[in-house]
Amino acid sequence: MRGWVSKFLFLFLIGCSQSDLHWEIPKVKGVKMENQNVTISDDQKIKEKEPLLNFSLTKEGKLLKIRYELINESSRNIYIFNVMWDVNQEGKEILAKEQVYVSLVDNSLISFSKRIPPLPLIRTVEFRYLPYATKIEPGKKFEEELILHIPVEEYNPYFPKEDSSETETKIAESCVFSIDYIFEIEDLQIKDTEIKNAFSIWHPKLMQIVKTLKSKTLPAQIEVIYRKDEFERF
């Protein structure tokens, strides 16, 4: 993810006025966003039917193919946070090498996710990493296939694997897929990015109104490269 730190901070600042931001400077290096006192209007509280999520996976030799599908059954546009992005040496936004977060939970359940990753508990960071989003109009369907190599490596953007990282191979017995989404509502800031069909999304109450869809747990024996060094799972 090298390179997206300065780019993200620039994009975040130009998308918010001074009244939108409050910075808290901790004793250690880094800054942290504080919750905003923003009232959600009655229009934003309207109940909408959540998207329908289908998830499947297949193993073909040393390849693991993950397929998910979302159907927007509501009356509003939805945006799913499924585009992991990076910045290349020329400062251009590109798709990140890793396009899904992976965690082995309780030594048996492998979690695949397309989400806004939670801020780390044991590490101070300067900002929250926000994946870009794909728009799904009412009644429309979106599907994507991801291909991973087996054994599958755990991945959290706040804890990139280093040459010195300690790992061991474990066998997952089941798997689950989750994805974050948001309805198009008042005050939602939607901006084009340099990546085709990917949007930068912001709202003063973003983390309070983002929703998470989770699939059913599926049985699957999958080899996982488990991180034994500093790493947080979700």
Residue 234 lies in a domain: no
Phi-psi sector, 84: left (phi>0), alpha (psi -120 to 50), beta:
beta
Residue 43 lies in a domain: no
* Measured distance CA(172)–CA(181) in Å, rounded: 27
Contact 93, 195 (CB under 8 A): yes
Q: Given pLDDT bands bounded at 50, 70 and 90, which one contains residue 202?
A: very high
- H-helix or E-strand spanning residue 2: none
Statement: residue 118 has pLDDT above 80: yes
219: its two tokens: 């049985």
Q: Given pLDDT bands bounded at 50, 70 and 90, which one contains residue 47?
A: confident
Residue 232 lies in a domain: no
Q: What is the mean pLDDT of residues 4-27?
A: 42
Residue 30 lies in a domain: yes
Statement: residue 35 has pLDDT above 60: no
Q: What is the mean pLDDT of residues 142-170?
A: 97
Cβ neighbours of 24 (radius 10 Å): 8
Strands (E), the chain: 23-24, 32-33, 52-60, 63-71, 78-83, 85-87, 93-95, 101-105, 109-114, 132-136, 141-149, 152-153, 167-183, 189-192, 199-202, 211-214, 218-227
* Angle (nearest 5°) at CA 81 between 76 and 86: 140
Sign of CA dihedral 229, 152, 200, 215: negative
Pairing of strands 189-192, 63-71: unpaired
Statement: residue 40 has pLDDT above 60: no
Residue 41 lies in a domain: no
Flag the least confident range among 7-21, 35-49, 148-162, 220-234: 7-21
Q: What is the mean pLDDT of residues 36-64?
A: 76
Phi-psi sector, 194: left (phi>0), alpha (psi -120 to 50), beta:
alpha
Residue 200 lies in a domain: yes
Query: How many structural domains does the chain have?
Result: 1
Q: What is the mean pLDDT of residues 36-57?
A: 70
Q: Which domain holds residue 22?
A: 4-36+49-227
* Measured distance CA(201)–CA(181) in Å, rounded: 11
For residue 14, the number of C-alpha atoms closer than 13 Å in the C-beta half-sphere is 8
Residue 77 lies in a domain: yes
Torsion of CA 2, 233, 61, 163, to 10 degrees: 40
pLDDT at 9: 46
